[in-house]
């Protein structure tokens, strides 16, 4: 007799898809666990078997949004190549991830608002920020050591890059006829790199 398939991950994905849809449509405050159970086409008991509360669901969705992306960026960081090449590959990866997230952008900003009120969500977001800094800061340091970059502050430079990524998307929300996320993220990073790249002295 063949073993029964493990459907737990499939069920979790089903629930997280449903929760993402409902949270995006109704917001965190207005969504009830009943709404998510109905959207996922599972019983309320099955829902609570996997996720005990809305907070558990919110944290799982955050992990789903960021962990895979950060895992890929950590692998990219450890590949050989120049710091400048890494920054452009990093930028393209982030742009593609952001484009995939535009559909659920209202939910992303719900997370930001929730971070002001929920210490748990704030701690999770802080953990993601630390991982982001742990990816970029060593690359900036490597660029300084190799002579590619001026002796800039690696932490401040990494924060500036993050501000370009996040801030451009926010400006797109304000006026999508003025701001093109792909174009303006690339142009922002280009300006940043031009400012920190060392140039050979002229004879």
Q: What is the per-residue pLDDT across 137-191, written as a single tens digit (0 to 9) for each?
A: 999 999 999 999 999 999 999 999 999 998 998 899 899 899 999 999 999 999 9
Residue 197, strand partner residues: 149
pLDDT average, residue stretch 16-24: 87
Give pLDDT, residue 24: 80
Give pLDDT, residue 200: 54
pLDDT per residue over 49-102, tens digit each?
Answer: 898 888 888 888 888 877 777 888 888 788 878 999 999 999 998 898 888 777
Give pLDDT, residue 152: 96
Question: For the chain, what is the mean pLDDT?
Answer: 85
Q: How far is CA 12 from CA 42, 61, 68, 88, in A?
A: 11, 10, 16, 34
Give pLDDT, residue 2: 43
Extents of the domains making up the chain: 1-52, 62-196
State if pTM tops 0.85: no
**Whether 26 contacts 35, CB under 8 Å:** yes
**Whether 86 contacts 76, CB under 8 Å:** yes
Which residues are within 8 A (CB) of 150 and not within 5 positions of it... i.e. 6 or more apart? Answer: 144, 196, 197, 198
How many Å apart are CA 90 and CA 70, to the nearest integer? 10
The reply to whether domains 1-52 and 62-196 share a CATH topology is no
**What architecture is domain 62-196?**
Orthogonal Bundle (1.10)
- Domain 1-52 carries which CATH code? 1.10.10.60
């Amino acid at each position: 007799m063949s073993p029964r398939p493990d459907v737990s991950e499939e069920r979790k994905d089903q629930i997280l898809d449903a929760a993402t849809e409902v949270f995006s449509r109704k917001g965190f405050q207005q969504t009830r666990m009943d709404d998510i159970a109905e959207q996922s086409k599972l019983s309320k008991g099955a829902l609570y078997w996997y996720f005990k509360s809305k907070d558990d669901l919110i944290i799982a969705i955050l992990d789903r949004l960021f962990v895979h992306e950060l895992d890929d960026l950590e692998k990219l960081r450890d590949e050989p190549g120049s710091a400048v090449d890494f920054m452009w590959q990093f930028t393209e990866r982030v742009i593609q991830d952001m484009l995939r997230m535009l559909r659920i952008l209202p939910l992303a900003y719900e997370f930001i608002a929730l971070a002001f009120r929920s210490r748990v969500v704030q701690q999770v977001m802080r953990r993601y920020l630390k991982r982001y800094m742990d990816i970029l800061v060593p690359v900036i340091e490597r660029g300084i050591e190799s002579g590619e970059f001026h002796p800039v502050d690696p932490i401040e430079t990494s924060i500036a890059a993050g501000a370009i990524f996040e801030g451009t998307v926010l400006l797109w929300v304000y006026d999508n006829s003025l701001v093109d996320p792909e174009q303006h993220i690339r142009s922002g990073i280009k300006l940043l790199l031009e400012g920190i790249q060392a140039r050979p002295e002229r004879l």
